[in-house]
Amino acid sequence: MSAVPMETANYPVAVSQSLDKENVPVMKHSSNAMDICTKSRQDTGRSISAKGGAQRIPLRAGSNNILADVGKPTGSAQESSAALREAVPKPVAVATCQTAPMDCDGKEPSTARAPVPDAQTTGNRHTTSSSGGGGGENARTSKKWSLPDFDIGKPLGRGKFGNVYLAREKSSKYIVALKVLFKNQLQQSNVEHQLRREIEIQSHLRHPNILRLYGYFYDQNRVYLILEYAARGELYKELQKCKRFSERRAATYISSLAGALQYCHKKHVIHRDIKPENLLLGMKGELKIADFGWSVHAPHSRRQTLCGTLDYLPPEMVEGRDHDASVDVWSLGVLCYEFLFGNPPFEAEGHSETYKRILRVDLTFPKAIPVSDDAKDIITQLLKKDPRQRMPLDQVLKHSWIVKYADLTGVPSE
């Protein structure tokens, strides 16, 4: 059984779902106050998170290669596949899609059925017309997923709550990433609500620069997320290898990210944890926002939760003030700086010094690294202490630096 080339299939025939609390028997959201802790980048991610909160799942070295034959893993892939199947009991009470995708604007979908294999493709979603019944030709039939529906390949990454595996959906031969989360660990860390929110938000987003969440299922011990496979892995590892990016490459990534965030904000979704570790690269090198663990759907309210990553925290979060979607704009500026100079702009010896630099917006540009005035200008316009003065995302896309350097295809030419 040979693997299907990624470029020959637009999207797998997986169910796009929101997570119904009644369908996934995990512990209810705890009302306990959050214990905030910090980690440096050396501690895998510079994370500030709720106690035991969701962690990123870094890809291992060499994980960017596509498995030549997912159906016939060898070596560690074969062992991991066998271990996974032996460890997982036969799936029971598998979740069924309960809602069709909606636009994260609070509106209920017009149909209660979701896409299944296959027959017909409309845009980026596989749909199947019902052959009978009262749904008409646009009706969709729900499908139950379980572990035997997938060929399991090599492990792609390991995190606090589970692992990620390369996998192939058997009927379509489509390659995906299967994220396996352990319920007991989610319960012990009181982050079930975060998982529900992450699934509900990410499964409804449709943008070329946002990693797709196609569906989920679960058994007695685990929850499985069916994710788009980003073949080139973490952007952070690429940045580590290159030390810093050229202006052309940085501008292309910033342009793609600004467009994706603009889309999210129109859907009232705030990401709140933009950083290189949460960005992946697709088959052609296009950027993908991957981790929505700290995201929130907030159409009418300002938020107060301290979350995200230390070096990327905006002043309003450091000061404990309410925040809104402009926190993502600040993170975009920090990311742009790190792309061009190799380090975050407010990095300091200790956490308290980093906080102070953020509050002062102590922004300096190393003279040893030649960067254009246009690049410095867009960073300065994004990193304003007053959220209202930060450059709007639509203006980011029109900025002279983006216009001059960004590749409109979203794929850096270098």
Active site residues: 273
DSSP state of 123: T
Q: Is 266 annotated as a binding residue?
A: no
Phi, psi (rounded to 5 degrees) for 97: -60, 130
Mapped onto helix, strand or coil, the DSSP state of residue 131 is: coil
Mapped onto helix, strand or coil, the DSSP state of residue 74 is: coil
Q: Is 179 annotated as a binding residue?
A: yes
Question: How far apart, in whole angstroms, are the C-alpha atoms of residue 272 and residue 281?
Answer: 20
Ramachandran area for residue 167 (φ above 0: left; ψ -120 to 50: alpha; else beta) = beta
Question: How far apart, in whole angstroms, are the C-alpha atoms of residue 154 and residue 386?
Answer: 46
**Cα–chain-centroid distance for residue 83?**
27
Query: How many CB atoms within 10 Å of residue 409?
Result: 12
Q: Is 103 annotated as a binding residue?
A: no
Question: How far apart, in whole angstroms, are the C-alpha atoms of residue 213 and residue 18?
Answer: 10
Question: How far apart, in whole angstroms, are the C-alpha atoms of residue 384 and residue 344?
Answer: 15
Indicate the burial class of 355 (C-beta count within 10 angstroms; 0-12, 13-18, 19 or more).
Answer: middle
Q: Is 277 annotated as a binding residue?
A: yes
Q: Is 229 annotated as a binding residue?
A: yes
Query: How many CB atoms within 10 Å of residue 107?
Result: 8
Q: Is 160 annotated as a binding residue?
A: yes
CA-closest candidate to residue 140, choices 110, 168, 102, 169:
110
In Å, what is the CA distance from 389 to each residue of 3, 292, 319, 330, 384? 50, 26, 17, 11, 6
Question: How far apart, in whole angstroms, are the C-alpha atoms of residue 405 and residue 396?
Answer: 13
Residues 6+ apart with CB under 8 A from 371: 247, 340, 341, 365
Residue 138 exposure: Cα atoms within 13 Å on the Cβ side: 4
Both tokens of residue 19? 């997570």
The answer to whether 160 and 56 are in contact (CB under 8 A) is no
Q: How many residues are given for the chain? A: 414
Question: Could you tell me which residues are annotated as the binding site for ATP?
Answer: 160, 179, 228-230, 277-278, 291
Question: Could you tell me which residues are annotated as the binding site?
Answer: 160, 179, 228-230, 277-278, 291
